[in-house]
Amino acid sequence: MADYIWKKDSTGKVDERVMRFLAGDDVVLDRELLPFDIRASKAHARGLARIKVLTSEQAAAMVASLDRLDTAFAAGEFVLDGRFEDGHSAIESWLIEDLGEIGGRIHAGRSRNDQVAVALRLYMKDRLQRLGTLCASVAGVCLQRAERESGLPLPGHTHLQQAMPSSLGLWWAGHAEAFIDNLALAQDIGDWLDASPLGTASGFGVNLPLDRDSVAEELGFHRLVVNPQYAQNARGKVELRALDALSAATADLRRLSWDISLFASQEFGFVTVSAAFCTGSSIMPNKQNPDTVELLRALHATVVGARSELESVLSLPSGYQRDLQDTKPPLIRAFARGLDGLSLLPELLGGLEWNPARMRDSISPELHATDRANELVGQGQSFREAYRAAAAELGELSGRTPEASLRERVSPGGCGNLLLDRLHDRLSALISK
């Protein structure tokens, strides 16, 4: 283990068992944060040069050394492991080893408390951006298929009982709109947490005229977390909101997966999931199971569990408390697993193969009863009267076709008027934001 950065003459003997407990798997989790921590450290070094705490040569040497660390880390030549207490200490150790005394100047005006907070904000901005991109591509596939398959009849269910003729167009467009909403939410939450806590140090500010605004701007933040105490109190609070955005997507994914796994059952027989996403059974030679769909459905449980674990940590007084370290595992675990899963979805959806004949054949004539009632309304009857009349005609609806029913469902958004262009326009506007 490299010397602790907080080691001083008065430091007593450090018990390795205690240190192992304090570190937990922090150093491993910090692998996710290190690239962001390096970026923030470069901006911090440049900021220190602007206020003359570093010479411009010293800052340039630090930035170059941090670039080397970034490259070595990406190439697997620098491994963040138990030699270090955490990623923050590893950066300082690297700089001291690389640059000697100059390296020890990086920590002027900052604390690991604002260092971890800024790395986490950059990490969350990045992951929310990825989440948004994935939601956009899921919505894109759904819209494309909605267009192509808009006229294919599908029995519509409520209470899992057949209700009215519906269409694949309506089904796809419904899931498209959900993921457009989830893209918007990821963007909104990304904007909401787009603030730099760097330069708040341990939570009280420092007696140096730090150029916080320019450092934040260089890092691409839109504003500062102004108050140093709040920079710490917001830890966990912002992580929860980031997980909210993720959980909106995984909740919709859960429902979508449910639909697919029902439709893929032999009883429905509406759809086949591509073999690339299925596995066989170890005992039943006949089986081909849509496991991917099922584990995608289970993703939401991971996210909700992470959210609740994180929230339970936050019963804390103001200021930095080491408890806050425990907000990292649920956040990082949920985003890693969640984005991994979501990234499979566009291809899985693109490869679904429908059985249109089976879908159409399972629409029985009674499903046209609501159409019949509304037809009578069109002829001037009160709806309640028409409802009773249609109920009495249930046996006489066999002359109708699902295709005609879909065509005539002209209310905006309905099967005959899906308004896909509106969904397209909203998606494009959000993508180009």
Binding site for ligand ARG (CB under 6 A): 26, 86, 112-113, 116, 320, 322, 324-325, 328
H or E stretch covering 72? helix 56-74
3-state SS assignment for residue 108: coil
CB count in 10 Å sphere of residue 198 = 28
Location of structure tokens 């249609």 = 390
- Closer to ligand ARG at the Cβ: 24 or 365? 24
The alpha carbons of the chain give a radius of gyration, in whole angstroms, of 28
CB of 121 to ligand ARG, least distance (A): 13
CB count in 10 Å sphere of residue 282 = 7
Closest CA to 404 of 151, 230, 159, 229: 151
CB of 313 to ligand ARG, least distance (A): 11
- Closer to ligand ARG at the Cβ: 235 or 300? 235
- Closer to ligand ARG at the Cβ: 37 or 177? 37
Amino acid at 114: D
Task: Name the phi and psi angles at 227, rounded to 5.
Answer: -85, 125
- Closer to ligand ARG at the Cβ: 112 or 424? 112
Structural tokens at position 307:
């959210």
CB of 5 to ligand ARG, least distance (A): 10
Distances (CA, A) of 267 to 95, 106, 353: 64, 65, 16
- Closer to ligand ARG at the Cβ: 125 or 328? 328
CB of 323 to ligand ARG, least distance (A): 8
CB of 278 to ligand ARG, least distance (A): 40
Instruction: Count Cα atoms within 13 angstroms, Cβ side, for 118.
Output: 38
- Closer to ligand ARG at the Cβ: 112 or 297? 112
CB of 49 to ligand ARG, least distance (A): 25
Residue 167 pairs in a beta bridge with 153
Do the Cβ atoms of 261 and 297 come closer than 8 Å? Answer: yes
Position with the least CB separation from ligand ARG = 325
CB of 6 to ligand ARG, least distance (A): 8
- Closer to ligand ARG at the Cβ: 80 or 430? 80
Closest CA to 34 of 106, 93, 86, 112: 86
